[in-house]
Amino acid sequence: MGGWQDMTAEVLEDQYSPSRWSSRLDRDTIIQAHITTMAAATQRARASVQTALHVPYGDGDREKLDIYLPPDPSETFPVLVYIHGGYWQCLRGVYLCGHSAGAHLAAMVLSTDWTEYGVVPDIKGAVLVSGVYDLEPILHTYVNDELNMSREVAQRNSPMQCIAPAASVAVACEVLVAVAQQDSPEFRRQSQEYGQALRAAGWSVSILDLAGVDHFDIIERLSEESYILTQVILNMISRA
């Protein structure tokens, strides 16, 4: 009886493609079904037990653990360390999502020349929700009372001022710029102009203007499966 060395390339591919062997679902849907099931289970687990999330175990950005504790963590208990599958490559595409000032920070991640740090982050997509992308107007508001930004600092940290051509950067991913109908005219302007500037620089950009929501419930409603922004994000992830 021959070993794997005697298999044709096609047979060997089949042998090492688990999605082709299930009798429950076809190979085109089973992986997504697995990801969906695991994501739902994760949420249920986080809602039912104590957790310590994103605990670093090393210096790398990905070197973090999510710890799920038993009902009485004061007693001695066994530890199970679960390492997910994916052939060391699947189930680790990174997606960014930021709201308001968080959208600014996510946009700055996209603006960073990561090659200067010797890394190429595997960012598949970014969702920027009701963000601020040009900080200079903030210099003239109450917000700067605490920040005390100078004009130079504001310009240096404005994503709008440091958009690189998509072909020249390490991170060139799909970007969704979302804004609320009831956001202020300035927030709406910034979202539109930033999205258009990214698109002009060759980035893959969608601009989503959401009716019937304000600056706060535009993000609060992400817990609703039928919410359009939830659906758009899920579709972005499923396409990767």
Task: Supply the mean pLDDT for the chain.
Answer: 79
Q: Spot the catalytic one: 19, 206, 214, 215.
A: 215
Residue 184 a catalytic site member: no
Quick check: 165 pLDDT over 90? Answer: no
Task: Output the pLDDT for position 20.
Answer: 63
User: What confidence tier does 205 reach under pLDDT thresholds 50, 70, 90?
Assistant: very high
pLDDT in tens, 136-154: 888 888 788 888 889 999 9
What is the percent of the chain with per-residue pLDDT over 70, rounded to a whole number?
77
Regarding predicted confidence, which is higher, 196 or 15?
196
Residue 215 a catalytic site member: yes
User: What confidence tier does 7 reach under pLDDT thresholds 50, 70, 90?
Assistant: low
Task: Output the pLDDT for position 87.
Answer: 31
Q: Spot the catalytic one: 100, 111, 130, 158.
A: 100
> What is this structure's pTM?
0.64
Of the given ranges (2-11, 46-55, 185-194, 196-205), which has the lowest mean pLDDT? 2-11
Asked if 133 contacts 158 with a C-beta cutoff of 8 angstroms, the reply is yes
Q: Name the residue type at position 72.
A: D
Contacts (Cβ under 8 Å, ≥6 apart) of 101? 131, 132
Residue 183 a catalytic site member: yes
Strands 51-56 and 64-68: antiparallel
Quick check: 71 pLDDT over 70? Answer: yes
* Domains of the chain with CATH codes: 8-92 (no CATH), 93-240 (3.40.50.1820)
**Average pLDDT of 117-128?**
81
Question: How many other CB atoms are found less than 10 A from the CB of residue 234?
Answer: 13
Task: Output the pLDDT for position 81.
Answer: 47
Structure tokens given for 10? 């096609």
Q: What is the distance between the alpha carbons of residues 127 and 228, in angstroms, rounded to a whole number?
A: 13
Q: Spot the catalytic one: 99, 130, 183, 191.
A: 183
Regarding predicted confidence, which is higher, 239 or 18?
239
Q: What is the distance between the alpha carbons of residues 67 and 82, in angstroms, rounded to a whole number?
A: 10
Integer angstrom CA distances of residue 217 from 24, 99, 160, 167? 39, 11, 25, 35
